[in-house]
Amino acid sequence: MNLFGLMDTSGGAMQAERMRAEVVAANMANAETTRTAGGGPYRRQEVVFAADRGDSGFLDSMKAAPGSSVAGSLPPIRSLGSDVVAPGVHIAQVVQDPSPPLKRYDPGHPDAGPDGYVAYPDINPLTEMVDLMGATRAYGLNGSAVQAEKGMIASALEIAKS
């Protein structure tokens, strides 16, 4: 790993945690959404992380993996050179929670079925807040790691000058 490898690793982790926080925010914003463009209530989203092991074989396997969404719309895996991948984490995919919607009796609601029940997203605000706190804490810790490495590099440069 090169001198700035930790910054690359922490930067990738910060990017992944930012996306995780955005997904949590979208879940919270849509907690009462009973009708989407696709029909039915909003479905809770979850972020799936995957590890970058730090070797070229891993990069090749991800490019060739059947059904891998990494090579598609997600950010590319970070590369330190022609054949070396920085160890760290990236977002493998964002998936829908398979939980069935919650049914609430509200016959006056415009989305109520013939039985008077409305399908709401299965989103627990407590779970979402815990996920948001975890993403925020991980983001902050990675930011601290970047600051510590910057301090170490500055100290090393000062020692080299003298």
102 part of a folded domain: no
The span from the CA of 125 to the CA of 97, in Å, is 15
Which pLDDT value is given to residue 68?
Answer: 43
Under 8 Å between Cβ of 96 and 44: yes
Q: With bands split at pLDDT 50, 70 and 90, how would you rate the model's confidence at 65?
A: very low
Query: What is the domain range of residue 136?
Result: 5-31+45-96+123-161
Measured at the CA of 49, the angle between CA 97 and CA 127, to 5 degrees, comes to: 45
Highest mean pLDDT among 21-30, 52-61, 63-72: 21-30
143 part of a folded domain: yes
In Å, what is the CA distance from 69 to each residue of 54, 85, 90, 103, 109? 19, 18, 11, 33, 38
Give the pTM. 0.75
Q: What is the mean pLDDT of the chain?
A: 83
Q: Of 3-17, 21-35, 47-61, which gets the smallest average pLDDT?
A: 47-61
Domain count, the chain: 1
63 part of a folded domain: yes
103 part of a folded domain: no
